[in-house]
Amino acid sequence: MIELDGVRKEYGDVVAVQDLTLSVGGGQFHCLIGPNGSGKTTVFRLLLGLARPTAGTLSVEGGTVGCGFQRPNFYPDLTVRENLQVFAGLVGSPSREWRETVVDELRLRRAMDRPAHDLSGGFARKLDLALGLLKRPDYLLLDEPLAALDDVSKERLLDFLSSYADDATVLVSTHHVGDFEPHTDRLTVMHEGTVVLDARPEHIDLDGHASLQAYYVALVRQQEQAASDRDDDARQPGRRPGAGGE
Amino acid sequence: MSLRSLLKKEFHWSKHNALALGFVLLLLPAFFASTSVVFGTVVPRDAPVAVTPESEDVTDQELSIITGAFEPFSAPKRVDSPAEAEQMLRRESVYAIVQVPPDITNASNDNATFVLTVDGSIAPFERPSQAIRVIMARALDDAPFLEADISVRREVVGTENSLSEYLVPSFLMAVMILFAFTYVPYNLAKERDVLDRIRTESSLETLILSKLIYFSVLMLVPVVVFQGAAAYLGYATTALSVGTVLTLLLTFFYLAAISTTIMVLLRFGTLGRFVNVVVLLGITAFSGLAFPVGYLSPVRKAIIRADPVHYSTIMTRSFMLKDADLSLFADWLLALSGFALLTLACVKLSAVYYRRTT
């Protein structure tokens, strides 16, 4: 399991994540959702060891971690094949067969000999995902994996990730839960650096909303309103809580 | 109107890149302006000369008189034995040796011949050494207490190299410096695109170490090219020798480690590349690449003698032009290896700093 316990991360004066306690693992398709600036990417960077918590503890036990980045990370001057070779060597890719499977599943074969800097946005995303999958990680962390993908590629990737989640944990960061809804085993909603909801989708009461996406949007708005009210109270110290209005 | 908008955009860009622009517009011009002053002091009047007794019969007083007579036109150093003076000559600690004959203060001594020994490979010192011989003869004739009839003989030891040959090791060293402070930072800057993945799958330290090793080995290519070019031009220089290759690769390694440290501390950005260019200019100006350091002003000489590249340059010159034995520079090689380890430690600390500030 990956365990975050009371984690706080500050960048200068900005608190990106505060008092975050979360367990990730157990072979599930886990969606981390939240608006821009909610702290999702910071959580990913913490999980990947790219950032250090300002406070709290973080532990990764029993497995390897692979990742797909929000901004594709590969060598632009190398070809797709060369990138795959370099990183397969670096991560100790389990087998050549697995590498071939990844290439086929992500439909990268016809781009193998193209320089990576020539790839379209969609292919660049696929190459980044392929690099994250090379070591067949126990925890696959993907930051906005569907960005720049066409609808057909999205469906194909979601099917692949769904089956991958049978044997491993897939943690996806996004602000469009709709694409992932049919596949998601667990949903964690973040807002302003804290977790405001963590539940299995079937346990969430949509409260009259037509979809999980609509429910999420309403939840975020509610959080924003609450934050705004808190700010107003802070600006007017003499005002009693709940004593506003008419 | 679009021009106005684009000019406004340039202004915004300048605000965001104020540090880089500061380097280009302020520091670099200031550096060039100040280096012009340096060339004004390039007069070989402080050339270090070893004053050593020809035999045990030479007295302290006689050595003191000769040392004093040399002070107006050189920087004389009293050395106890000719063997020690020879070693200093081979290591470019001095550019000439003056052997003092016995009984120069003895009125019964009709003739005293001083021997001025110079190294044939230090081509820029050939003419000055001839001038020094003449000045020396005149100065010794005029010196008080010297009763003997004085004559000075100039002797050249080792191979006499042309100025072109003399400059070959300097150019090769310049290539190492240039590559370490321009291409290595450029290459590191390109790693920015993939740094997160590298840090996830491997480590910053491994990435850097792989680059230092790879580029150090790559430096064999210019060494081979110089060997080929020298052979084609008929120069008496040896680039492909153990001493030369060892010195050059060690030098490149510590220089590349310095430029890498700068890049990591400045987060692989443009500012890091500018700072490296400034360091490149500083090292070029203060390593005695072209001029023998003994020609330069005392202040500049002191700075250069604190610069490891200066010792690397002397070693490279000695190995390439004189086929010097490795043992002659064993202590310097050991010191440079220690310095290389120190720069490697700086790289490691910069990587730790990078991680802690992410």
Distance separating alpha carbons of residues B113 and B137, to the nearest angstrom: 10
In what side-by-side order are the strands of the sheet with B149-157? B75-78, B48-53, B96-100, B111-119, B149-157
> Higher model confidence: residue A193 or residue B43?
A193
Using CB atoms, which residue from A45, A52, A74 is nearest to B197? A74
The pLDDT, as a whole number, for residue B1 is 52
A78 has pLDDT over 60 = yes
Q: Are strands A2-11 and A14-24 parallel, antiparallel or unpaired?
A: antiparallel
User: Does the beta-carbon distance from B200 to A77 stay under 8 Å?
Assistant: no
**Any CB–CB contact under 8 A between A74 and chain B?**
yes
ipTM: 0.86
Q: Residue B311: what pLDDT? A: 94
What's residue B42's pLDDT?
44
Q: How confident is the model at residue A239 (pLDDT cuts 50, 70, 90)?
A: low
Whether B251 and B336 have beta carbons less than 8 Å apart is answered as yes
**Res B105: pLDDT:** 77
Mean pLDDT of chain A: 88
Half-sphere exposure of B217 (CA within 13 A, CB side): 5
Tell me whether B194 touches chain A (CB under 8 Å).
yes
- Coil/strand/helix, residue A28: coil
Average pLDDT, chain B: 85
**Residue B175 distance to chain A (closest CA, Å):** 25
A50 and B190 in contact by Cβ < 8 A? no
> What is d(CA A59, CA A172) in angstroms, rounded to the nearest whole number?
19
8 Å CB contact of A48 and B190: no
pLDDT of residue B31: 64
Is residue B10 classed as helix, strand or coil in its secondary structure? helix
Task: Express each pLDDT in B175-185 by its tens digit.
Answer: 999 999 999 99
Domains, chain B: 48-157 (3.40.1710.10), 163-356 (no CATH)
Tell me the pLDDT band of A242, cut-offs 50, 70 and 90: very low
- Percent of chain A whose predicted confidence (pLDDT) is above 90: 46
Banded pLDDT at B348 (limits 50, 70, 90): very high
Give the per-residue pLDDT at B40.
43
Rg (CA), chain A: 20
Residues near B139 by Cβ (< 8 Å), separated by ≥ 6? B69, B70, B72, B73
A208, with CB counted inside 10 A (0-12, 13-18, 19+), is: exposed
Helix, strand or coil, per DSSP, at residue A64: coil
Q: Which of B125, B262, B268 is nearest to B194 (CA)?
A: B268
* Overall size of chain A counted in residues: 246
Q: Does residue B39 surpass a pLDDT of 50?
A: no
Contact present, B263 and B185 (Cβ < 8 Å) = yes
Residue of A nearest to B191 (CA): A75
CA distance to A228, B125, B128, B191, B243, per residue, from B131 (Å): 87, 10, 5, 55, 33
Cβ distance B193 to A74 less than 8 Å, yes or no, reads yes
Contact A73 B199 (CB under 8 A): no
B249 has a pLDDT exceeding 90: yes
Inform me whether the C-beta atom of residue A89 falls under 8 Å from chain B C-beta atoms. no
Q: Give the pLDDT confidence of B296-342 residue by residue, as tens digits.
A: 777 888 888 899 999 999 999 999 998 899 999 999 999 999 999 99
Residue B260 pLDDT > 60: yes
Q: What is the DSSP letter of A205?
A: -
Residue B62 and residue B138: Cα distance in Å, rounded? 17
Query: A190 vs chain B: nearest CA distance in angstroms?
Result: 22
Residue with tokens 């660049």: A124
Query: Could you read off the pLDDT of A205-230 as tens digits, one per residue?
Result: 887 888 888 888 888 888 888 888 88
What average pLDDT does this structure show over A106-130? 93
Of the candidates B193, B201, B355, which has its C-beta nearest A87's C-beta? B201
Residue of A50, A82, A83 best to disrupt the B interface, most CBs of B under 10 A: A50
* Burial per residue of A132-168, b for 16 or more beta-carbon CB atoms within 10 angstroms, e otherwise: bbbbbbbbbbbbbbbeebeeebeeebbebbbebbeeb
Residue in B193, B355, B356 closest to A73 by CB: B193
Which residue type, as a one-letter code, is found at position B242?
V
Q: For residue B213, what are the β-bridge partners?
A: none
pTM of the predicted model, to two decimals? 0.82
Instruction: Give me the mean pLDDT over the B141-159 stretch.
Output: 80
- Best of A65, A78, A90 to substitute, by most chain B Cβ atoms within 10 angstroms, is A90
**Percentage of chain B exceeding pLDDT 70:** 90
| Residue A176 pLDDT grade (very low, low, confident, very high; cuts 50, 70, 90) | confident
Q: Cα(A147)–Cα(A149) distance, rounded to whole angstroms? A: 6
Q: Does A50 sit within 8 Å of B358, measured CB to CB?
A: yes
The predicted structure's pLDDT at residue B66: 84
B141 inside 8 A of chain A by CB: no
- Give A73→chain B minimum CA distance, Å: 5
Asked if A86 is an interface residue toward chain B (Cβ–Cβ < 8 A), one would say no
What is the C-alpha separation between B246 and B273, in angstroms, rounded? 27
Q: Whole-angstrom Cα distance, residue B348 to residue B336?
A: 18
Query: How much is the average pLDDT of B101-113?
Result: 78
Q: Is residue B276 predicted with pLDDT exceeding 90?
A: yes
